[in-house]
Amino acid sequence: AQKITQTQPGMFVQEKEAVTLDCTYDTSDPSYGLFWYKQPSSGEMIFLIYQGSYDQQNATEGRYSLNFQKARKSANLVISASQLGDSAMYFCAMETGYSTLTFGKGTMLLVSP
Amino acid sequence: DTGVSQNPRHKITKRGQNVTFRCDPISEHNRLYWYRQTLGQGPEFLTYFQNEAQLEKSRLLSDRFSAERPKGSFSTLEIQRTEQGDSAMYLCASSEQPSSAETQYFGPGTRLLVL
């Protein structure tokens, strides 16, 4: 079975600082994909970044980067230079070839001025 | 805007009533997914379609739930005889490629409250 664990219920960061949101995963499938989504209070899940299990380099998308440590089964999201608009719930998710996503419980990020 | 759309955005109903939600995926996407999200949790998979074929259903999808995707375009999710435990956000997502870990793009969701 696939499992995603996000151990940080909430994180606080000041504007312009970097923040790391933790995600660990468990799967026996050698081929999988890891995703991060942002969910503002409006409810829509916004795709941020993707990492494939066979990708040699860590994924980056603008201010977002994914710190992928395969041996530790972790896929932490790093947001550089936080902005007030980054305040939201963040979900880590995994896809293992069965075409469905398994999500963690999420981390609430609050960015203060 | 050519993203995933869902209607209605909010639905309040009384226990025992039937409700139907609609999802319009991104036009070139052939896969469509339904998820349910309860308060304080991440989304949980319900079912998905490739074109008009419903390929997988979660155990969460009781007999009171039915989903369709006629003609492989929009999809509907119907809940019959609603219960208070059905109160949740229902999210629809779509993706393009059927054979790889392709990004799923989500709609804004339908918030259901069963009184």
Decide if A103 and B109 are in contact by the 8 Å CB cutoff: no
Name every chain B residue with its beta carbon within 8 A of the beta carbon of A95.
101
Cβ atoms of residues A107 and A21 within 8 Å: yes
User: Please, are residues A44 and A36 in contact by the beta-carbon 8 Å criterion?
Assistant: no
Residues A1-25: pLDDT tens digits? 789 999 999 999 999 999 999 999 9
Does residue B96 or residue B91 have the better pLDDT? B91
Range of weakest confidence among A93-102, B20-29, B54-63: A93-102
What pLDDT was estimated at residue B56? 87
Phi, psi of B30 (to 5 degrees): -100, -5
Q: For residue B101, give the nearest of A37, A44, A95 by CB distance.
A: A95
pLDDT of residue A98: 64
- Whether residues B101 and A93 touch (CB distance < 8 A) is answered with no
Residues with Cβ within 8 Å of B100's Cβ and at least 6 positions away in sequence, in order, are none
Find out whether A11 and A80 touch, Cβ atoms under 8 Å. no
- Give tens-digit pLDDT for A52-67: 999 989 999 999 999 9
pLDDT of A92 > 70? The answer is: yes
* Å between B93 CA and nearest CA of chain A: 9
Distance CA B85, CA B41 (A): 14
Give per-residue pLDDT as tens, B34-85: 999 999 999 999 999 999 999 888 888 889 999 999 988 999 999 999 999 9
Contact predicate A47/B26, CB 8 Å: no
3-state secondary structure of A9: coil
For CA atoms A41, B6, A46, B85, the dihedral sign is positive
Question: Confidence class of residue A106 from pLDDT cuts 50, 70 and 90?
Answer: very high
Q: Which residue has the tokens 């305040």?
A: A87
pLDDT of residue B28: 84
Residue A57's CB: how many other CB atoms inside 10 A? Answer: 8
Interface test with A, best of B5, B34, B99, B106 (most A CBs within 10 A): B106
